[in-house]
């Protein structure tokens, strides 16, 4: 644990926020976990405890260490109070530009002037988020991967004004969490999604144009490219609404038709078939 950043806040206790809070608490950081929904906070703590039990079963954690980590987690709903004494704030709230800009204005007003403000956004410009604060040089992307306790990568996104000091501090903190941080500049989709989403979109087009079925496409990519899962399985896992939103960011950000989302993806999202989370996407998860 890096002493100068011992006190952190995580905003948003959903899928990503609970995973981020989990790894910080387990590494020795004191975490204010903040959400507008008490229900989300209750669920997050239950999920963290359950995931730690799984680590204990695998021999990666002890009951004692679990209890210590859980004691370092402080769930709360008051954002201003939760960030007021923090040196690092990691925002992982819902992926919505207007919401994130509002949250960053609030964090900027309430957090200490020297605090680093990070966002876990998958696709929103860090430079745009930084521009609503009075400290754009201290705003940075910490793009964790799902599931956070397991996935090693943190894509560290450097906004237009992010300083080298802030970059280095975030690289060091990420390594301290047991992750492998990789820096990238702030352009649409950063690196991970700029490369992944066109591949997923092309897989959807391949199916849409009748070249091959869903399972055939996934099997070809899995066995042929040694990918752990096929692109359509992965799209269902990520959420088809999330894939569509990121493709739209690429399409609008570059103004290049090669990123235009496949009409089949648009239709599936409109119909509410979003993948695993709704029980139906390219595959049926209802059974």
Residues 42-75 as b/e (b if ≥16 CB within 10 A, e otherwise) read eebbebbeebbeebeeeeebeeeebeebeebbeb
Q: Which stretch binds ligand NAD (CB under 6 A): 6-14, 64-72, 127-135, 156-164?
A: 6-14
Is position 35 an interface residue for ligand NAD (rule: CB under 6 A)?
yes
Whichever of 34 and 73 has its CB closer to ligand NAD, that residue is 34
Q: Which of residues 232-271 bind ligand NAD (CB under 6 A)?
A: 238
3-state SS assignment for residue 10? strand
* Token digits of residue 85: 């004494």
Catalytic site residue from 119, 193, 201, 207:
193
Helices 192-208 and 263-270: crossing angle in degrees, nearest 10, is: 90
Is position 34 an interface residue for ligand NAD (rule: CB under 6 A)?
yes
Pairwise CA distance, residues 21 & 24, whole Å: 5
From residue 145 to residue 184, the character string flagging contacts with ligand NAD as x (rule: CB under 6 A) and all else as - is: -x--------------------------------------
Q: Which distant-in-sequence residues (6+ apart) come within 8 Å of 248 by Cβ?
A: 261
Q: Is 273 a residue of the active site? A: no
Pairwise CA distance, residues 121 & 100, whole Å: 9
Pairwise CA distance, residues 265 & 205, whole Å: 9
Q: Is 267 a residue of the active site? A: no
Pairwise CA distance, residues 188 & 38, whole Å: 33
Pairwise CA distance, residues 249 & 260, whole Å: 10
Q: Least CB distance from residue 156 to ligand NAD, whole Å?
A: 13
Whichever of 154 and 268 has its CB closer to ligand NAD, that residue is 154
Catalytic site residue from 32, 119, 120, 122:
122
3-state SS assignment for residue 184? strand
Options 4, 37, 38, 62; binder of ligand NAD; rule CB under 6 A: 37
Catalytic site residue from 120, 125, 143, 201:
143
Options 10, 16, 204, 268; binder of ligand NAD; rule CB under 6 A: 16
Options 9, 23, 69, 95; binder of ligand NAD; rule CB under 6 A: 95
Is position 38 an interface residue for ligand NAD (rule: CB under 6 A)?
no
Catalytic site residue from 155, 174, 201, 207:
155
* Token digits of residue 231: 């692109």
Q: Is 120 a residue of the active site? A: no
Q: How many residues bind ligand NAD (CB under 6 A)?
A: 25
Contact 262, 209 (CB under 8 A): no
Q: Least CB distance from residue 218 to ligand NAD, whole Å?
A: 19
Whichever of 26 and 121 has its CB closer to ligand NAD, that residue is 121
Q: Which of residues 120-139 bind ligand NAD (CB under 6 A)?
A: 120-122
Whichever of 11 and 25 has its CB closer to ligand NAD, that residue is 11
Q: Is 30 a residue of the active site? A: no
Sign of dihedral through CA atoms 73, 74, 77, 81? negative
Euclidean distance between the first and the last CA atom of the chain, given in angstroms as a whole number: 43
Positions marked catalytic: 122, 143, 155, 193
Interface residues with ligand NAD (CB under 6 A)?
11-17, 34-37, 40, 79, 92-95, 99, 103, 120-122, 143, 146, 238
């Amino acid at each position: 644990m890096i002493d100068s950043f011992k006190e952190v806040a995580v905003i948003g206790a959903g899928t990503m926020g609970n995973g981020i809070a989990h790894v910080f608490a387990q590494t020795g950081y004191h975490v204010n976990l903040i959400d507008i929904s008490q229900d989300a906070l209750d669920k997050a703590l239950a999920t963290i405890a359950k995931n730690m039990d799984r680590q204990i079963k695998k021999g990666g954690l002890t009951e004692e260490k679990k209890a210590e980590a859980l004691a370092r987690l402080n769930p709360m709903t008051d954002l201003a109070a939760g960030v007021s004494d923090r040196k690092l704030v990691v925002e992982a709230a819902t992926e919505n530009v207007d919401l994130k800009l509002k949250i960053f204005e609030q964090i900027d007003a309430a957090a200490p002037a020297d605090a680093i403000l990070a966002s876990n956004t998958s696709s929103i410009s860090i430079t745009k988020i930084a521009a609503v604060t009075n400290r754009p040089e201290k705003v940075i992307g910490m793009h964790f991967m799902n599931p956070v306790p397991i996935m090693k990568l943190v894509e560290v996104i450097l906004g237009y004004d992010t300083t080298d000091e802030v970059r280095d501090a975030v690289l060091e903190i990420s390594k301290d969490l047991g992750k492998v941080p990789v820096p990238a500049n702030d352009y649409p989709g950063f690196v991970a999604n700029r490369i992944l989403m066109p591949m997923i979109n092309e897989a959807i087009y391949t199916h849409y144009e009748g070249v091959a079925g869903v399972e055939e496409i996934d099997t070809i990519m899995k066995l042929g490219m040694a990918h752990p899962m096929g692109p359509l399985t992965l799209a269902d896992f990520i959420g088809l609404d999330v894939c569509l939103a990121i493709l739209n960011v690429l399409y609008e950000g570059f103004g290049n038709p090669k990123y235009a989302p496949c009409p089949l993806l648009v239709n599936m999202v409109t119909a509410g078939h979003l993948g695993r989370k709704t029980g139906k996407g390219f595959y049926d998860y209802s059974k």
